[in-house]
């Protein structure tokens, strides 16, 4: 499920009148020219690029049934990118495109490709009214790229899997102390694998494809009332409504019979839901270097196709500390419901979604004028909701650790090395895995 939490605090809407360019969030280098380019060449070693258990028996990535161990491989990564920024007195336009290709020497050269396109427009109509539009398109296989916040499937999914997210945020200043933010977000997910791609042995029951499990349109509308209680403190009272509609016509649990007793099937849209969120919060500047934001409340989820509902807590909080020039740390926590690639078992009702708590810590540190280091640690703790006695309440925990180091030979050329670790712990059979990836390479920018 997609959530939109509108940007924190009151904005200085009169800033454009005092500056020739309107460029919130951009550095001087980014505004000095409209186009910039970058290119990455890396060599790497990945000890489990298929994200499989060490010994796996079941449905293989090509849809066949059999035995497969996790596979390791050396490889090469190529990633060119182009960036565009254009700002005038009251408008900022920015866009970027990143292509990423990973070639694995294992199995005669397996290749995975990723496309990422982002665009943004910030426009000030006047000192009281501001509009921000964002567009993000991704075609990928890795879970952290398709799901940038809470992960719906922790497994690598072969194919051209698409996620497109569009958001709009309109700010209206009512008085010196109060303003209103109105937002809308639309996310569409489309996975390449569908029921026509599966390979079945004689007498074998069909299994749910990724399209059946995860193809969906997620729409959220939000309104926030914000009160400038103190110069450093902004209070927030908000409401969001979300409609989650699964778009595949396929079954996620196929109908059948056991010993002559029929049992029903469930299609993808049996997971559809409407959700209402009510929350309060605050944005606080504790010091010029330490800032925090929190939204806390509850969500009421109506699974109207399944004729059931659920009430759960909702939290979205973060703390950012700029402890040195060009060095910062951020801690965050999210508590919400999200989609899952787990369907359940024949003869019972399907898994509707999972309730997740995701926590993360990111650090970017400038060691010297030429040497920088960064790290990201993220953990997601999830519990399955629905699925009958075989699935309801089962847990799945997903962990990610990224470490990267860069030495800047010149402002345009840097050497890089890094390490990524991911691990899935789960109560389900033939699903848990660990994965290690190390790389070394160069990055050029212009």
Provide the residue-wise pLDDT of the chain in tens; the chain has 446 residues: 554 443 333 222 222 222 333 344 444 545 567 999 999 999 999 999 999 887 765 554 444 455 567 889 999 999 999 999 998 889 999 999 999 999 999 877 789 999 999 999 999 999 999 999 999 999 999 988 999 889 999 999 989 999 999 999 999 999 999 999 999 999 999 999 988 665 555 555 678 999 999 999 999 999 999 999 999 999 999 999 999 999 999 999 998 887 788 888 999 999 999 999 999 999 999 999 999 999 999 999 999 999 999 999 999 999 999 999 999 999 999 999 999 999 998 888 999 999 999 999 999 999 999 999 999 999 999 999 999 999 999 999 999 999 999 999 999 999 999 999 999 999 998 899 999 999 999 999 99
pLDDT at residue 280 in the model: 98
Query: Residue 17 and residue 422: Cα distance in Å, rounded?
Result: 48
Of 383, 379, 424, 386, the C-alpha closest to 401 is 379
Name 225's bridge partners.
Answer: 180, 237
Token pair listed for 207: 């299994």
> What are the strands, taking DSSP E only, across 20-151?
35-46, 55-59, 65-69, 73-87, 91-104, 110-124, 129-140
pLDDT at residue 243 in the model: 98
Q: Compute CA distances 239 → 5, 183, 350, 391, whole Å.
A: 10, 11, 29, 31
334 Cβ neighbours under 8 A, 6+ residues apart = 3, 149, 150, 315, 316, 317, 356, 357, 358, 359
Q: Where are the alpha helices (DSSP H) in 85-174?
A: 143-146
313 Cβ neighbours under 8 A, 6+ residues apart = 296, 297, 298, 299, 335
pLDDT at residue 17 in the model: 28
Give the count of alpha carbons within 13 A of 233, CB side only.
5
Name 218's bridge partners.
Answer: 187, 244
Helix (H) or strand (E) holding 361, with range, is strand 351-366
Token pair listed for 372: 């920088």
pLDDT at residue 144 in the model: 84
Q: Which phi and psi (to 5°) does residue 146 adopt?
A: -70, -40
Query: Residue 348 and residue 270: Cα distance in Å, rounded?
Result: 13
Of 179, 187, 193, the C-alpha closest to 149 is 187
Distance from chain centroid for Cα 176: 35
Decide: pTM greater than 0.75: yes
Distance from chain centroid for Cα 115: 15
Q: Which phi and psi (to 5°) does residue 250 adopt?
A: -80, 165
Q: Which phi and psi (to 5°) does residue 107 adopt?
A: 60, 50
Q: Do the Cβ atoms of 385 and 354 come closer than 8 Å?
A: yes
pLDDT at residue 11 in the model: 26
What HEC string does 362-405 produce?
A: EEEEECCCCEEEEEEEEEEEEEEEECHHHCCCCEEEEEEEEEEE
Token pair listed for 312: 């759960």
């Amino acid at each position: 499920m997609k959530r939109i939490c509108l940007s924190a605090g009151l904005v200085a809407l009169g800033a454009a009148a005092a500056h020739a360019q309107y460029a919130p969030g951009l550095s001087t280098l980014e505004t000095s020219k409209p186009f910039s380019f970058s290119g990455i060449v890396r060599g790497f070693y990945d000890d489990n690029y298929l994200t499989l258990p060490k010994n796996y028996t079941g449905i293989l990535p090509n849809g066949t049934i059999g035995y497969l161990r996790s596979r390791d491989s050396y490889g090469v990564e190529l990633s060119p990118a182009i960036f565009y920024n254009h700002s005038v007195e009251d408008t900022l336009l920015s866009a970027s495109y990143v292509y990423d290709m990973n070639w694995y020497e294992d199995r005669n050269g397996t290749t995975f490709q990723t496309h990422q396109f982002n665009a943004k427009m910030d426009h000030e109509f006047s000192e009281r009214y501001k509009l921000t539009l964002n567009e993000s398109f991704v075609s990928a296989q890795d879970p952290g790229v398709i799901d940038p916040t809470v992960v719906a499937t922790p497994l690598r999914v072969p194919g051209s899997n698409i996620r497109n997210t569009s958001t709009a945020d309109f700010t209206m200043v009512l008085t010196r102390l109060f303003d209103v933010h109105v937002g809308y977000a639309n996310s569409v997910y489309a996975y390449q694998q569908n029921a026509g791609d599966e390979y079945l042995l004689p007498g074998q029951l069909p299994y749910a494809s990724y399209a059946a499990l995860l193809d969906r349109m997620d729409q959220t509308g939000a309104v926030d009332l914000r009160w400038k209680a103190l110069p450093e403190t902004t209070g927030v009272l908000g409401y969001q409504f979300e409609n989650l509609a699964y778009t595949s016509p396929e079954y996620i649990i196929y109908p059948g019979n056991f010993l002559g007793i029929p049992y029903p099937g469930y299609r993808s849209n049996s997971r559809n839901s409407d959700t209402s969120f009510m929350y309060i919060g605050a944005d606080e500047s504790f010091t010029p270097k330490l800032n925090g934001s929190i939204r806390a409340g509850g969500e009421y989820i109506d699974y109207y196709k399944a004729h059931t509902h659920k009430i759960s807590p909702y939290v979205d909080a973060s703390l950012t500390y700029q402890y040195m020039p060009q060095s910062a740390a951020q801690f965050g926590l999210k508590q919400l419901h999200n989609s899952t690639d787990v369907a359940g078992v024949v003869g019972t009702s399907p898994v509707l979604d999972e309730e997740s708590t995701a926590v993360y810590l990111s650090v970017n540190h400038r060691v010297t004028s030429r040497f920088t280091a960064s790290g990201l640690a993220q953990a997601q703790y999830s519990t399955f909701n629905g699925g009958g006695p075989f699935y309801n309440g089962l847990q799945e925990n997903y962990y990610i650790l990224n470490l990267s180091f860069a030495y800047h030979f010149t402002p345009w050329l840097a050497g890089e090395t890094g390490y990524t670790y991911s691990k899935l712990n789960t109560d389900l059979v033939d699903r848990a895995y660990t994965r290690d990836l190390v790389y070394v390479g160069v990055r050029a920018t212009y």
